[in-house]
A = this chain, B = another copy of it.
Amino acid sequence: MEKNVLVIHGGGPTAVLNASLYGAVLAARESGEISHVYGAIGGSEAILKEDFLDLMQVPEEDLKRLLVTPGTAIGSSRYALSDEDYAKMPEIFGRWNIRYVLPTGGNGTMDTCGKIQKACENTGIRVVGIPKTIDNDIAVTDHTPGYGSAARYLAETVAEIGADVKSLPIHVCIVEAMGRNAGWITAASALAREKKGDAPHLIYLPERPFREEEFLEDVRRLHEKLGGVVVVASEGLKKENGEPIVPPLFRSGRSVYYGDVGAYLAELVIRKLGIKARSEKPGICGRASIPLQSAVDREEAVLAGRTAFEAAHSGQTGVMVSFVREDRADGSYRMHPGTVPIQEVMMYERKVPDSYINTRGNDVTDAFVSWCRPLADIKHREFIDFQESYWERKGKSE
């Protein structure tokens, strides 16, 4: 009987989500024991509609394009599967000879993953989750594929904004970063710095209550000193009482809509300090940028796809691929993949720990930077700054 594989994408994409698909297809092909690797076209509802596309015969040069395609090449959804939906799956999988099911996604998808596995108990069908999220908020893994590229995007972009703002140092620039509940991406902006005084000058994570007075005090002080100030703020900043810092804009059905944190903070600076300010919100640009993919992240995403196939192939089920960082004496980075029981992962949101945030809550610590640097895989920047050398020389001669 033929043995087939099904890959499903859930939730929002990352810059390397397709790379994990590539890894899974490659491993399945190389095994020599798989007839078809199906992609579920359009996310989890494709399972029920049986919208499966076989990727087994796709020419290698086309398959490689997955490494440089943002979004997902097979489509994704936020469709909420019902108990009835899960109950139908074993029969569908059986009919298509699907033996390994590889859902790729974040916390929500890992929940789905656990439920598919439960529905398929005692059928021989194996379910292995491939982690994917820019937010890095999945538990029980050092980090997740997708995060390194989002981290690199923000760091490189903030470095470029820093050079721009320093050139014409008249305003405060607030960069809004993705990650509503966890500040991993926001924190990565610290990698923009190469030397003292480099942007970002202030970093605000959602893990700490935002204190407006302290923020204004810090901005005023830095603006006096530098002229141009770059602030990175999480889109999910909250007050001491847990409410978003931005007042609600309007309600629609059961949802409450808020304005943008970046725009709100820029307005605050203008109003309260009388200093020019503006905001940038790269938003989903930061999870879709191919030129700013982290090479390490991309390779690890391929590895995650491979590892998921191999785990299923070796008999595992009800697990998620995890990354374990090796503790090396010379401090260099090395990671090996493993698997963790899906129950340990499901629906638990991992936040940035206290040891990665400074006391005043307006920056990250060196420990965070050391942890994050290899993942974002940033090369040394070639920027040159004649202003700096001029003022330094002038200062010395006076």
Contacts and interface: CB of A to CB of B under 8 A. Distances in A.
Contact of A70 (B41, B163, B390): B163
Contacts of A385: 69, 73
A250 B266 CA distance: 12
B279 A250 contact: no
Contacts of A290: 160
Contacts of A70: 160, 163-164, 383
Contacts of A278: 283-284
Given A252-B270, A278-B283, A260 B257 contact: no
Interface string A171-204: 0010000000000000000000000000000000
**Copies of this polypeptide in the complex:** 2
A77 B168 contact: yes
Contacts of A58: 386
A48 B41 CA distance: 65
A68 B383 CA distance: 6
* Most chain B CB within a 10 A radius of its CB, from A260, A282, A285, A287: A285
Interface in A143-183: 156-157, 160-161, 163-170, 173
A386 B74 contact: yes
Nearest to A385: B73
B263 A161 contact: no
A1 interface: no
A204 B168 CA distance: 29
A19 to B, nearest CB: 12
Contact of A383 (B65, B168, B260, B394): B65
Nearest to A52: B390
A18 B167 CA distance: 11
A38 to B, nearest CB: 10
B390 A288 contact: no
Contacts of A367: none
A259 B270 contact: no
A78 B281 contact: no
A119 interface: no
Contact of A386 (B73, B167, B291): B73
A232 B390 CA distance: 41
A371 B93 CA distance: 53
Contacts of A389: 53
Interface of A: 9, 11-13, 18, 39, 41-43, 51, 53, 55, 58, 62, 65-66, 68-78, 156-157, 160-161, 163-170, 173, 249-250, 252-253, 257, 259-260, 263, 267, 270-271, 274, 278-285, 287-292, 382-387, 389-391, 394
When A and B form their complex, which 7 residue pairs have the shortest distance between CB atoms, in order from nearest? A71-B167, A280-B283, A71-B163, A160-B288, A65-B384, A291-B291, A72-B167
29 contacts: A12-B164, A53-B390, A62-B384, A65-B382, A70-B160, A70-B163, A71-B165, A71-B167, A73-B384, A74-B387, A75-B168, A75-B387, A78-B170, A160-B289, A161-B284, A161-B285, A161-B288, A249-B267, A252-B271, A253-B274, A257-B270, A259-B263, A279-B281, A279-B283, A280-B281, A280-B282, A281-B281, A291-B291, A291-B292
